[in-house]
Structure 1
């Protein structure tokens, strides 16, 4: 009996010994790691802010990255109100406590209903013109919107005199880029990281000397796949649109960049360049 107790005690000690040096991590082992959370999806939207430089007030266009969401027009206007301008010296005119109560889009017309706070902006006459244009240009970035009208708390009458200098009664507002001075060149197609076909259309707008815009498509090794130039619909100091079809032979690199730029008349350098990463 005594021998049996000794044997049991020996086995118990042996088990404890084994767990101490080889198996105790069964109790301390970290739980199986959770799979990484998927990256939050984002999207790019264009917004227009005001800038006053050397007593010259104008609009600047910026592209902001925001969380991907339905209702992109609402997202864009909220970014116009609460986003942070990226351009040095750019500023917002819509009061920070302004709320977008609703947006309806029908037959290309967007009706935006603002809260009462939108009327509290304290700006001069020209800033009011630009402030209105900043809203309209932001909304008409979307192909489903060609015209815009405002209401305040559901009332067109409350919006009629807006900030006191410009009458909006009965007006349908349309896109106007004539006061957009920054950036000098921007590209609307292709978009960032877009997968290109071997023939694609480059589109954008520019303020360019003699209305000439240049482009160059290179792959990730730096090899030039296509290059050339196109004309805008107007030369500097006016802003003009451009569109050109580019055909290239895709390389095995599978990715690269499209550079759009102006050539300096002074020294031949590439200026006002825009670079868009692309794939194929």
Structure 2
């Protein structure tokens, strides 16, 4: 014991020094730091699904852009251009239909990091990735597609009698899908044409094994007479096949992936539907140029197509202000089959109505007609 006394001053000095150092240390609440660290660790995981999803969408969109132009039959000009489905309903290569957002014309910058580890890199899905209903059509920046409408058949007593009339539209995105969207949601520029597909909402158009599937989020709920329902169904089939440049593939109509609904209360959609003969559903005479509302010079050339008895197409032009009338006939290149016709006239300034029509060889009544209103300067 006595041997330790000489060391007591040193020991006491060390104890005091340690106590002084400890007294200067103020304990801090570590909970906020712990929470901050935990939040920092969770943040990347919370953002990752959004990053990957946006990245996949952007990459898939960029990969799908291609070139696609449709011309139906012998017609190699998109006659109606931007005015085909009414103001603001069709597009040029640099503008889009109002209310439509095709998935291909603009792609957002991908937020996916450039150096993702291989194990976490997203799989790129393009717009041509097969689905359970088939392969989606390729997206495009610009295309010209046919859109079919209904028109009342002249000379038929039934109010439900209608035939198909074709117009043209410029679209971006998926050509057939956009053509169907115009057909179901827009008004044609020509007041003589109409659609009974209002209320329908197209979802997608896919292809597999010779069948084109048109899936709708919602089919039209209108119930029609059987003959009108059949022609309205062909309106969809002709529009889709024309946009795909394929008149041989049958069309399967589904609602949210399910077939079998009675379209317009009449048409069985449980199996794919084929294209009807043109003579059974198409109007027998169309004016393809000039288009409705066109502004022209005094020399006007009228072009069209018709399936006419003895190849004869009658026409009448009427000045809607002065009631001046010009009336005559022309011939198609071939009779009793769809064939082009054309004629030229000189008109005075003002609004004119052009009518082309067929006359029954049996009783002399008008059986089919098409008309356009133009302004002559």
TM-score (norm 2): 0.39
Structure 1 residue 93 corresponds to structure 2 residue 147 = no
Separation of aligned partners in 2, 1:84 and 1:119: 16
Query: Deviations for 1:87-109, whole angstroms, at most 9, x for unmatched residues?
Result: 3332211133x221111123542
Q: State the shift of 1:212 in Å.
A: 6.4
Task: Please report how far the alpha carbon of residue 119 of structure 1 lies from its aligned counterpart in structure 2 after TM superposition.
Answer: 4.1
Deviations 1:223-269 (A, max 9, x none): xxxxx97325x2xxxxx2349xxxxxxxxxxxxxxxxx99999xxxx
Note the C-alpha offset of 1:174: 1.5
Matches within 5 A, 1:197-212: 206-211=306-311
More strand by share: 1
8 Å contact kept, 2:284–2:306: no
CA distances 1:150-170 after superposition (whole Å, capped 9, x unpaired): 11110113x3x2222222332
Q: How big is the alpha-carbon RMSD for the aligned residues of Structure 1 and Structure 2?
A: 4.0
Aligned residues: 178
Query: Mapping of 1:156-167 within 5 angstroms?
Result: 156-157=259-260, 159=261, 161-167=262-268
User: Which residue of 1 is the match for residue 184 of structure 2?
Assistant: 81
In the alignment, the residues of structure 1 paired with residue 272 and residue 158 of structure 2 have an alpha-carbon distance, to the nearest angstrom, of 29
Q: Does 1:152 align with 2:251?
A: no
**1:163–1:89 distance in 2 versus 1, CA, 3 Å:** same
Report matched runs for 1:230-249 at 5 Å.
Answer: 230-232=333-335, 234=336, 240-242=337-339
**Which consecutive aligned stretches of 4+ in structure 1 deviate over 4 angstroms post-superposition?**
261-265, 271-274
Counterpart check, 1:180 vs 2:282 = yes
SS of the residue corresponding to residue 148 of structure 1 reads strand
Pair 39,71 (structure 1): closer, same or farther in 2 beyond 3 Å: closer
Q: Is 1:136 matched up with 2:210?
A: no
Instruction: Please tell me whether the aligned partners of residues 305 and 332 of structure 2 are also in contact (alpha carbons under 8 angstroms).
Output: no
Kept in 2, the 8 Å contact 1:111–1:148? The answer is yes
Question: Which among 163, 169, 179 is matched to residue 65 of structure 1?
Answer: 169
Match of 1:192 in 2: none
* Counterpart in the other structure of 2:103: none
Structure 1 portions without partners, runs of 5+: 1-37, 188-203, 214-227, 235-239, 244-260, 266-270, 275-280
How many angstroms apart in 2 are the aligned matches of 1:74 and 1:111? Answer: 11
8 A contact 1:48–1:138 mirrored in 2? yes
TM-score, structure 1 normalization:
0.51
Unaligned runs of at least 5 residues, structure 2: 1-91, 96-141, 290-303, 314-330, 341-355, 362-368, 373-377
Max Rg structure: 2
